[in-house]
Amino acid sequence: MDHTPLAATINLIGGKYKSLILWKLTNGLLRFSELRREIPCATPKMLTQQLRELETDGLINRKVYPVVPPKVEYSLTTLGKSLKPVLDTMYIWGTDYLSNKGIENKNTL
């Protein structure tokens, strides 16, 4: 079984904050400052970098409003939206994983 498709997917969403950004944007568009608040652990530099890569890969749109103060909105492209099943599956697995870890801890008490 060729693993190229798997590698391709990981290359697109495997970045440090990429899946988180995509996840936040599934609820609709967000401004830069809103993303910062949603993902506080990412510095502005990192956030910008990851956003640019997602944009280059065609997963998100970046819309700049030429106003003062500046306003930039990020949203999912059609391709980005198509990732929802992937993110959902990961989210569900992660939820199960974390809750089972909790049970294990309980058993050791």
Partner DNA sequence: CGGTATCCAGGACGATACTG
Partner DNA sequence: CAGTATCGTCCTGGATACCG
- Residues of this chain that bind a second copy (CB under 8 A): 1, 3-10, 12, 14, 19-20, 23-24, 27, 38-39, 79, 82-83, 85-87, 89-98
Contacting range for DNA; rule: CB under 7 A; set: 34-42, 75-83, 88-96, 100-108: 34-42
Least separation in angstroms between CB 64 and a second copy: 25
Least separation in angstroms between CB 4 and a second copy: 7
The 3 state secondary structure assigned to 2-52 is: CCHHHHHHHHHHCCCCHHHHHHHHCCCCEEHHHHHHHCCCCCHHHHHHHHH
- Contact between 32 and DNA (CB under 7 A)? yes
Q: Which long-range contacts (CB under 8 A, 24 or more apart) does 49-55 make?
A: 50/15, 50/16, 50/17, 50/18, 50/21, 51/21, 53/15, 53/18, 54/18, 54/21, 54/22, 54/80
52 versus 95: smaller Cβ distance to DNA = 52
- Contact between 69 and DNA (CB under 7 A)? yes
Least separation in angstroms between CB 98 and a second copy: 6
